[in-house]
Amino acid sequence: MKRYYIRTFGCQMNVNDSQKMAGMLKSLGYEPARSWEEADLILVNTCSVREKPDQKVLSALGEFKKIKNKNPDAIIGVCGCLAQRAGYEILQKAPFIDMVFGTTNIHHLPQLLKEAQAGNKAVEIIEDIDENETELDRYPTVRDSIYTAYVTIIRGCDKKCTYCIVPYTRGRERSRRIGEILQEVQWLVEDGVKEIHLIGQNVTAYGKDLGDVKFHELLYAVADIEGVERIRFTTGHPRDLDEETIKAMAEIPQVCEYLHLPIQAGSDRILKAMDRGYTQKEYLKKIELLRKYIPDIALSTDIIVGFPGETYQDYMETIKVLKEVEYDQVFAFKYSPRPGTPAAQMPVTEDSETVSRWLSDLINIQKEITFKKNRAYENKVVEVLIEEEKDGKLTGRTRTNKLVHIDGEHNLLGEIVKVRISKANRFSLEGELAEKLV
C-alpha cells in the first residue's frame, strides 16, 4: 500500500485544495502517512502571499532533500501558489523534486503522478485557466474535521489590489455552478457535516461571471438543504458586500453571526494607493449596516502595516478604526513587496524597524480589545458545536467563531449544545454545559 503526506501552507483555499488532492489520492489507492518519513509521496502545497511563507517553503525543501537521500523512491511534488508563480525557479533550486504544478491544474495530479513514477520530471505550470479544472470538485474531501467542511464556491480574484499576488497565482474570478455547490453540500451533510464554510478569495463576487445567480441567493439555497446547521463564508470584499447579502445573513438562521471583512488600512490615501475601491467612511458604513441588521455580530479584519508611502498619520487612521470598530480579532501583517505587483514598484518610505514597532503596537492595542470582547461573554449562554473530545475536555466554536473549552461530559461530538461561559481567556473561552440542543 502506498502512502501520501501533504504539507499545506497558506489560506483556506490551499487547505481545501489539499483536502481534494487527498481525496484524489485515496481514489488511487493511497493511504495517509503519519509522517513524511513514512510517505511514498510528499506534496508541498505552497503559499506566496508574503515573503515569509515563500521562505518557509524554501527551507522546507531542504528537509525534503534529506528525505530523498534516505528514500530515493519517494516522489516529491510542489504545488500551489509559489509553484504557480515560481515553479521553474523552485526546480532549479531543488532539482531533486519530481513534480511541480500550479493552482489551476490540480486535477491533473493522477497523470502527473504517473509521469513521475515513470522516472520523468512532471512539470505543468499553465497561465491560462483550464476549463476542466472543476474536475477537482468531483472528488470527496479528506478532512480532519468530521463536522465542519470547506466548500469552494469561487476561485481567483479580479480585484487587483496593488500589493497582492493572488490575481497572479490564482487567476481571474471563476464561480462554481450553483448546482455543483449544492450537490457537494448535500454529500457533506449526508457524511455528517453540520457546518458548511463557503470559501473563495472573494466570495461576495460569487456569480458575477455566471450572470444568473447572486451570492445572497446561494446563501438561501445552501440554507434550504436539510441538515445544514451552520453556514460561514470567507473572504468577503467590503466593496461587494451589499445590503441584500447583509439582509440574507440576518434572515437565514444558519448563517453565523461572524464576518471577516478585511480593511487593510484606515487612511484614505493608502486605501487609494492599494486600489481597494472604498474610503474609510464607506467601509465604516458597511460595518454600521452589518450591526444594524445583526447587532451581536463578531467581526475580524486584515491589516497591512507599512504600505509604500504610509506615514505615521496614515497608520494612526488604522488605529482609529480598530478602536472605533472594536474587532473581535485582527490579523495584521507587515507589508511585503511581491514580485510583479504594482506596489512593488512604489518606493517604501518608512524604515523597517519603525514599521515593526507600529505593527507590534497595533497588535498590543488589539490584544486588549480582543480580551475585552471575550470578557463580555462571561456568564452568558452560547451555542457551541462540539468538534473535539480530548482528555475529558470538549472543544468547539460559538456561532461568533470563539473557541470554547468545556469540562467533563462525553459523547457530545458533533452536537450543538448550550454552554454557560465561566471564564474568558485572551484566545479562548471556558464554560460548562447548560443544555443539549440538537
Question: Minimal distance in Å, beta carbon 51 to ligand SF4?
Answer: 12
Q: Tell me which of ligand SF4, ligand 5AD, none is bound by residue 10, counting a contact when its beta carbon lies within the kind-specific cut-off of 5 to 8 angstroms.
A: ligand SF4
Question: Minimal distance in Å, beta carbon 262 to ligand SF4?
Answer: 12
Nearest CB to ligand 5AD, comparing residues 293 and 333? 333
List b or e across 188-203, with b for residues whose CB sees 16 or more CB atoms inside 10 angstroms: bbeeebbbbbbbbbbb
Contact 376, 387 (CB under 8 A): no
Helix H or strand E encompassing 383: strand 381-390
Question: Is 145 exposed, middle or buried, given 0-12, 13-18 or 19+ CB atoms closer than 10 A?
Answer: middle
Q: Tell me which of ligand SF4, ligand 5AD, none is bound by residue 336, counting a contact when its beta carbon lies within the kind-specific cut-off of 5 to 8 angstroms.
A: ligand 5AD
Alpha-carbon span 184 to 250, nearest angstrom: 24
What's at 148, amino acid-wise? T
Contact 231, 198 (CB under 8 A): yes
Nearest CB to ligand 5AD, comparing residues 193 and 355? 355
| 3-state secondary structure at position 379 | coil
Q: Of 173, 175, 183, whose CA–CA distance to 153 is shortest?
A: 175
Question: Minimal distance in Å, beta carbon 44 to ligand SF4?
Answer: 12
What's at 218, amino acid-wise? L
Among 333, 354, 371, 428, binds ligand 5AD (CB under 6 A): 333
256 marked ligand binding residue = no
157 marked ligand binding residue = yes
Question: Minimal distance in Å, beta carbon 281 to ligand SF4?
Answer: 28
Q: Tell me which of ligand SF4, ligand 5AD, none is bound by residue 169, counting a contact when its beta carbon lies within the kind-specific cut-off of 5 to 8 angstroms.
A: ligand SF4
163 belongs to the binding site for ligand 5AD (CB under 6 A): yes
Q: Tell me which of ligand SF4, ligand 5AD, none is bound by residue 163, counting a contact when its beta carbon lies within the kind-specific cut-off of 5 to 8 angstroms.
A: ligand 5AD
Which whole-number Å values give the CA distances from 55 to 22, 86, 426, in the listed order? 25, 13, 30
Pairing of strands 3-8, 393-398: unpaired
47 marked ligand binding residue = yes
Question: Minimal distance in Å, beta carbon 300 to ligand 5AD?
Answer: 11
Sign of CA dihedral 381, 400, 329, 272: negative
Interface positions with ligand SF4 (CB under 6 A): 10-11, 13-14, 47-49, 80-81, 165-166, 169-170, 201
Give the contacts of 160 (CB within 8 A, at least 6 positions apart).
167, 275
| 3-state secondary structure at position 86 | helix
| 3-state secondary structure at position 196 | strand
Alpha helices in 161-296 (DSSP H): 166-170, 178-190, 215-223, 243-251, 268-274, 280-293
Question: Minimal distance in Å, beta carbon 49 to ligand SF4?
Answer: 4
Tell me the site size for ligand 5AD, rule CB under 6 A. 12
164 belongs to the binding site for ligand 5AD (CB under 6 A): yes
Q: Which of residues 285-304 bind ligand 5AD (CB under 6 A)?
A: 302, 304
Question: Minimal distance in Å, beta carbon 38 to ligand 5AD?
Answer: 33
141 belongs to the binding site for ligand 5AD (CB under 6 A): no
Q: Tell me which of ligand SF4, ligand 5AD, none is bound by residue 13, counting a contact when its beta carbon lies within the kind-specific cut-off of 5 to 8 angstroms.
A: ligand SF4
Residue nearest to ligand 5AD (CB): 302
Q: Which of residues 261-280 bind ligand 5AD (CB under 6 A)?
A: 262, 264
The three three-digit cell numbers of residue 280, written as one number: 474609510
19 belongs to the binding site for ligand 5AD (CB under 6 A): no
Sign of CA dihedral 196, 199, 204, 208: negative
79 marked ligand binding residue = no
362 belongs to the binding site for ligand 5AD (CB under 6 A): no
Binding site members: 11, 47, 81, 157, 161, 164
